[in-house]
Structure formats: C-alpha cells, structure tokens
Structure 1
Amino acid sequence: MSERELTIAELGHRGDGIAPTDHGAVYVAGALPGEVVTASVADGRAKNPIFKSLSPDRITPVCRHFETCGGCTVQHLAPAPYLAWKRTLVEKALRDRGIETDVSDTVSATAGGRRRAVFTATRAGRHTLLGYHEKSSHRLVDIKECPILDPAIAQAVNGLKSLVSEILPRKGEARLTVLNTTAGLDVAIDKADKAYERKIPALSQKTIELDLARLSINGEVLLEVRPPMLDMDGIGLAAAPGGFTQATLAAEDALSKRVLEAVGKAKTVADLFSGAGTFALRLARQANVHAVEGDAAAIAAFDKALRKPQGLKKVSYERRDLFRRPLVLEELEPFDAVVFDPPRAGAQAQAELLAQSSVKTIVAVSCNPATFARDVRLLLDGGYTLQSVTPVDQFLYSPHIEVVGVLIRE
C-alpha cells in the first residue's frame, strides 16, 4: 500500500474524519476537518496516519485513556465545533428522510455528569480489570480515571473492582451497572459467577464498606442498605436494579422541560415507552396521564412511586410491548397529547398508527437520530407539522445524541 495525502472534509457520524478521494471516502480515526494527513489506505480506512497540519479546533484531551478507550471519540474537538457537529448529526438524519427543517442549537452536557455508567470487568491473571473496551477491540482498558463520570462513581472505581473480583467468572466478562442515587450508589452486577452464593458474607461486608445503597447480582437483590431513590422533580422513585435511567441529571431536566412545554395545557396525555416514569410523573402534575411500558421492573418502580400521595392528577398505567402491540386508533382517541421515548430501534409501528390519529400534539424523544427521522417522516406523511427539533447532549465526547421533536396536527 502506497502513502497518500488526505484532506479531511468533515466528521462522520462515529467521530472519524472523512477525506473524499477519487476512489471514495476514506475514514481517518482521530482526524478533524481541515487537517491534512498522509497514510496508507485499506478498505476505506487510513492506516497509521501522520498529521501534516492540525485544525485550530483541536484541543488536548482531558483523559489519559483517550488514545485507547473506546468510550470517547471526540474529546480532542473544541466545545463549540463539537456541539455544532452534534447538531449536524441530527440535521443529516432528517435530510436522509427528506426532511428540511431548522434544528436548534445543541443543549450542552457537562463533564463529570454521568450518574449512570456501565463497566465491564474481567480477569487478567491474578488481577482484575475494570473499565471499557478499547476502540474496535475486545481488549479492556483498566481505567484509572474517567472525567465524564459523576465524582461519586469515579471515586468508587477501585472499590468496585475489589467487589467484582469476588465473583468474576473464570472465563468471560461481568458487567456492572452503577447508578448514583440520592441514597448512594446502586450497583447491579450481571454475568457473575453462578456460584456467587458462597461469597455472600464477603460481598455484604464490601457493600457496607463501600457505603453502597444496594447491591444486586444476576438480577437478584443481595443487600439493600437504603432504598436507591431518584428525585423526579420532587417525586421520589426507587430505581429498579440495573434499570434504564437518563444518563445525566442535566439532560433529564432538559428533556423533561421540553416535553412539558410541548404538551402545554393538554388535559389527557399518553406517555409511551414510559420507563419508570421520568416524564409521566412530571406530566401528572398538570394533566391526566396514561403510561405504557413493557419492562416489568420499570412498571413496578412506577407503581411504587404512585403509592405515596404526591398531589398528582389521575394516573393509570399498563405493561405492554409496544413493538408488538402498539396503541390502536381507538385507544389513542382520548388523548390530547402523546409522548414517546423508545429504545434505539425507534417506534415505527406506533408512529404508523399515530400518523392516522387525531392526537393534537406529539412529542418524539429519541437517542437515535436515524430512527427518530424515520418515525417523524411517518408522522409528517400523516399530516403532522414539525414545530421544533432540539438535540440534547448527555453523552459527552461520544457520537450519541438525544433528540426532542414536537409535532402538531393543524
């Protein structure tokens, strides 16, 4: 392979620099727009690039693991162009579906804000490694720091490593989901050694020493010292072990604010893919709410939160797989507004039915611009008007972005 000079024109959706050539686009890891590199090229990717000129937007990464860790891909990009790039990811996804619309500036996340983190742990001889996988590799980076984490989680990393070392499988990896709650850290370990029961005394002791709120292993709550509570705008919610929670509190507040503003004075609201009630509990302060969610643990947490008097309006809920059984037209008819926040796969089946409905306001929330654009396209084709699109960045330094879209039927 001969060396070639490549000029980076743009950032791709995964954070790689893209250089157009006569033979197609070449992806250059770590390169920024305007930079020039020389590199050999194989299968559309630059190998061992040598930088001949650097962008003025390049900054020094804040983490020692940046070169190897696969968690952060754009830590070397200055804040303003970084946020602009996040917006272009949403704009491009919409254009790919033929949607031309103004996209608001990206709502920024902050370093040290990740209250929920998922770590991988494995054995390396007599040592335990805990961290994230390397870029394009199954090897694990044993992290010494992580600037995106909530300080309470970052400070507990060594203790978590000691904890999981007790129950690592002989082969393979374990996964730790760590959530910082108002009562302390909630730790859920999956894929632990199936014979972990014989380590219960040691695990319980370490849980106390680390001052964890709760420890769960392979789906079973081993020890709950204090209920791991989340504050949903003044409403207490006990988190489900390893359950879904918005990754940063700042992003949760930003998303909720936009959902509440969009719903406005609607009297009846359906919250679809409602999780444990991030939006539903807040919406119920101003409207009657029906929440629909497929996960049993999330519904149980939501039900428990409702059992305490909160001054809410009428709230109902049901456990239902909306991928297989979306709400049909007759079920949608009573609602003035519908909010949906599905997993990355989106809500195609539900969007198809919403497009035929008479619901006045629809708020689409998504962590995947591609499926967001697909679902919005369905609603537009059904006669809805797209009022606003706002990117919310709760996945700092990564290619991931949350989106809130507001649609109305004129």
Structure 2
Amino acid sequence: MRTELTIEDLAPGGEGVGHAGARTVFVPWTAPGDRAVVDVQAGDGTAHGSLVSLRAPGPVRVPAPCVHFGPGEVPGVSARGQARPDDAAPEGAGGPGGPASRPPPYDAGCGGCEWLHVDYAAQLAAKERTVREALRRIARVDPGAYDARPIVGSPAPLRYRARAKFHHDRASGRLVYFRRRSHAPVRLRECHLLDERLDALREAVGPALGRAGLAPREVALEWSGHEGRGAAWLLLPAITPAVRARAEALLCEVPALAGAVLQPEGGAPVLVGSPVLRHARVPGDAASGVQRSRPDVFQQANRGANALLVRAALDLLAPDGLDVLELHCGAGNFTGPLAARARWVAAVEVQGPALELARADLAGAGNVRFFAGDALKLALAFAREGGPSARRFGAALLDPPREGAKGIGPALRELGLPRTVYVSCDPATFARDVRACVETGFRLEAVQPVDMFPQTHHVEAVALLVPA
C-alpha cells in the first residue's frame, strides 16, 4: 500500500517516524519534516515502510557525504542522500535522449550509519529524548525528578572511530559492511565514520588478505593515533602453522599493520606481531597518560568523546579521597582516571585479556587492586565482609556491557554506598536497572547523556544514584 506522510521525529531505533492515519510508520533514510511517499504493508498497527520518493525535504535534512549512504535510486533523494526536486533526473541520468555518463556504481543501502542525512543538533536532541523517555517509561522516573543535564556532543561528528568491525567479502576482495537488515555486502570505498588513517588501513587490508591467502569471516581493525600504527583481529576457522605464516606475510605487506590477533572459532586467540596498541587517554594531551588496547578487547571507538564520558562520570562521582569500588572495569578505561583522584580503587572484571591490559597499564599504581570474577558476586561478597579488615567503600562506579547489570540494586543496597555512578550504552537496560535501584532504596539524582556514536541512534547515559 502506497501512502504519503510527514516524518515527525527520529525513533530510538534510528528510523524516521510518521503516521498514516492512525498507524505509526517507521521509515529509514528519512528526517523530521520530510514529506515522503512510502510503501507500507496493508494491515493494522505499527508498520515499517520503505521510502519510494521524497516530495519535499524537512528543515533538518542535510547532504550526506558518503557515496554508500541511502536507499539507492529513490526519486527526490540523490545517491548521497541529499534532497532534490521530485521531478529532477537522478544524478548522471540523461534527458529524453537516454542516459548520459553515470557516476561509478557504488553499493548503496549501507547499514553502518543511519543519520548521516540529519543535522547534528537534531541528532543530539533525539538522543536526549531517547534517554529521557526510557527513564519515564521503563524506570518510571519523571523528567522533573532528577537533574537532566544537556547531552555532551562528540568533538568530531565525522571521522571519529578509531576501531571498527567488518566482514570480508571474498568475491570482491574487500572489507565490507552489510546492507541495512541484510547480509548483502556493501563493498566499501569510503567510510566517513572512520578516522582517515583507519579508513586507509581498511582499504589496504581487504585486498592484502586475499594476496596473503587468508579468508577470515570477520575482521576488526584498530588505529592508534598516539602511536601511528594499527592492529587487526581475524576470525578464522582454525589456526595452523600455515595460517600463522600467512598472517605474518600480511603484516609484511601492510606496514601500517603492527600486529594481528588470530581468533579460531571456539579456540584461544593467537597473537602475531605486536597487536597491543596504546591510546592517549585524552587525545592530544600527553599528560593524561596512555591506555593499552587490543582489537579483540572492548574499547571505546570514539577516543575524543570517551575522554568526555570519563570526565562526566568522575565529575558526578566526585571520588576525591574516597575508597571506590569499580565494577566491570574492562581494560581500565575509568580505572586510571579514578586512581588519580580516589584514595584507593578496587577494580573488578572477569579474567581475560581486558583485565591483563588493565593490570599492565596500572602496575605502578599503588592504590589500585584488581579482582578477577563476576561483578555482582564480588560486590555481594564485599558487602558481607565483617571484622576490622572488611572493605568499606565511599562510592562505586559501574560500566556494564550492553545487557546491563541485572540484580545490581540489592547489591548496592547491601554495600551501603553514599554515591554510585552507572555508565550505560543501552537506554533500555539502563532504565531497567535504574528502576531496580529505585525500588531498593535509591534516588536518581542526575543523568548525563553523552554522544559516542554520531550518525547513529546509539547513545551513552551516565547516572548518579544516591540513597533515598
């Protein structure tokens, strides 16, 4: 069923949203204010539509710089997602005499970003609403009940990623993303989310894998601007001496690639070369110190925004002179800055390479002790310690993975903490856990959204919880 509608807002999942009568319709590649013709499945209730043509652009639509962005040949939208009059010919198309010379046939429909056609201020406003609405609907906390701080934007809305994951397309010999909601490859020629040097590394590594005789299913690349070198993670069926020799040949062919982590399916990783990189904790500030990273270990991709995230979390926590419990410390993203301000830090992470990197970074810090294990279980164990040697904390900071920290409310209550800061990358699990904390005797004092991923719907949130 074909219908015309006005896009009213950006949805938390990244699509534009409008109404066809009483039906809510989500439409990718659209922006608020767009007047669009959309194909919608017949029926009742919420629907996902596909963009047929753009009648008129909305006020926050901007030209997208990437040749891969957008749905392809849609009337009213250029190959780069830019609005044009509905009756204008597609780029490169001829008039009545037939097609003229066309631009190169770039793959469209890339699923790597969603909002490259939306003004950045409008993106930030939508992300603020996402966090606020998740807390209202899921946590049942009204916006006026806490200090809702303005979102912190990324220092760079484009070219901000220092790491990314790709698929290896053997047919084209390129590193690719998939098309939106598809496994069809987008054979990348550019990615405007990647640091230029990481983009150049991506362009070099794809063909070099084929020449080295390697066929990984997935590839992650990371670039250190501090060191001027990169590293790779390759997911392979198995690691044999021959595969390892091919990986060493890959490093020789791509001099910017300092090392690789070879990951066999279901096995332990094998390191080739020097895949451990060092990043400045604050880009451009040597005094901020450095942090070790490896392409198979979680690390924030946006180094500039990460420095702002760390600052926002520590400003809310106010750890100066306190004994601090850090749960889900990972590779030590917050641990080093915490140690610089706190009296003592107990940092908890499951055993693995992330914990090894954090320990290596902070081996000389006399006020940090690492504990390997499950965060919730260790938090409860600390809470139940007795006697003169029992650890008591003045504050806690937790940065769990996307699935959140289910069950953390009772643990925080047993710890009797005056202040807790919760850092989250998923508004839904964040709101769920905030609700659990509120139900066990805490009050949501303040929330600080931070934009780590411009041009996408993803948003980080930092919350301060205090006893009610």
TM-score by length of 2: 0.80
The residue number in structure 2 matching 1:207 is 251
Counterpart of 2:280 in 1: which secondary structure? strand
Question: Which residue of the other structure, out of 170, 176, 181, is the alignment partner of 1:131?
Answer: 176
1:251 aligns with 2:298: no
The residue number in structure 1 matching 2:186 is 141
Is the 2:201–2:256 Cα contact (8 Å) retained in structure 1?
A: no
Counterpart of 2:341 in 1: which secondary structure? coil
The residue number in structure 2 matching 1:35 is 34
The residue number in structure 2 matching 1:120 is 167
* Residue 382 to residue 192, structure 1, CA distance change in 2 (3 Å): same
* Residue 338 to residue 42, structure 1, CA distance change in 2 (3 Å): same
In angstroms, what is the RMSD of aligned CA positions? 2.3
* Residue 174 to residue 266, structure 1, CA distance change in 2 (3 Å): same
Instruction: Return the offset for 1:145.
Output: 0.9
Is the 2:7–2:33 Cα contact (8 Å) retained in structure 1?
A: yes
* Residue 306 to residue 150, structure 1, CA distance change in 2 (3 Å): same
Counterpart of 2:433 in 1: which secondary structure? helix
The residue number in structure 1 matching 2:437 is 379
Question: Which residue of the other structure, out of 305, 311, 329, is the alignment partner of 2:361?
Answer: 305
Using the alignment, how far apart are the partners of 2:213 and 2:324 within structure 1? 45
Matches within 5 A, 1:363-374: 363-374=421-432
Using the alignment, how far apart are the partners of 1:201 and 1:236 within structure 2? 31
Q: Which structure would you say has the larger Rg?
A: 2
Counterpart of 1:254 in 2: which secondary structure? helix
Instruction: Return the offset for 1:79.
Output: 1.6
Is the 2:418–2:466 Cα contact (8 Å) retained in structure 1?
A: yes
The residue number in structure 1 matching 2:67 is 64
Counterpart of 2:404 in 1: which secondary structure? coil
1:160 aligns with 2:205: yes
Aligned residues: 401
Render the CA deviation track for 1:72-112: whole Å, top value 9, x for unaligned. Answer: 10111112111111111111111112111353222112111
Using the alignment, how far apart are the partners of 1:256 and 1:48 within structure 2? 39
The residue number in structure 1 matching 2:350 is 294
Counterpart of 1:118 in 2: which secondary structure? strand
Question: Which residue of the other structure, out of 139, 151, 155, is the alignment partner of 2:196?
Answer: 151
Unaligned runs of 5+ in 1: none
Instruction: Return the offset for 1:23.
Output: 4.7
Instruction: Return the offset for 1:181.
Output: 5.5
Counterpart of 1:284 in 2: which secondary structure? helix
Using the alignment, how far apart are the partners of 1:243 and 1:259 within structure 2? 22
1:81 aligns with 2:122: yes
Render the CA deviation track for 1:306-338: whole Å, top value 9, x for unaligned. Answer: 22x3xx452111111236665353269611110
Instruction: Return the offset for 1:382.
Output: 2.5
Equivalent position amino acid for 2:7 in 1: I
Using the alignment, how far apart are the partners of 1:389 and 1:286 within structure 2? 22
Counterpart of 2:148 in 1: which secondary structure? coil
Is the 1:168–1:193 Cα contact (8 Å) retained in structure 2?
A: no
* Residue 323 to residue 382, structure 1, CA distance change in 2 (3 Å): closer
1:191 aligns with 2:235: yes
Instruction: Return the offset for 1:199.
Output: 4.7
Instruction: Return the offset for 1:356.
Output: 4.5
Using the alignment, how far apart are the partners of 2:257 and 2:375 within structure 1? 35
Structure 1 residues 188-197 or 247-256, which shifts more? 188-197
Identical aligned residues as a percent: 28
Using the alignment, how far apart are the partners of 1:136 and 1:108 within structure 2? 28
Render the CA deviation track for 1:366-404: whole Å, top value 9, x for unaligned. Answer: 100111111111222233222221111111101111111
TM-score by length of 1: 0.90
Using the alignment, how far apart are the partners of 1:164 and 1:103 within structure 2? 48
Equivalent position amino acid for 1:35 in 2: D
Unaligned runs of 5+ in 2: 71-108, 264-268, 283-287
Instruction: Return the offset for 1:190.
Output: 3.1
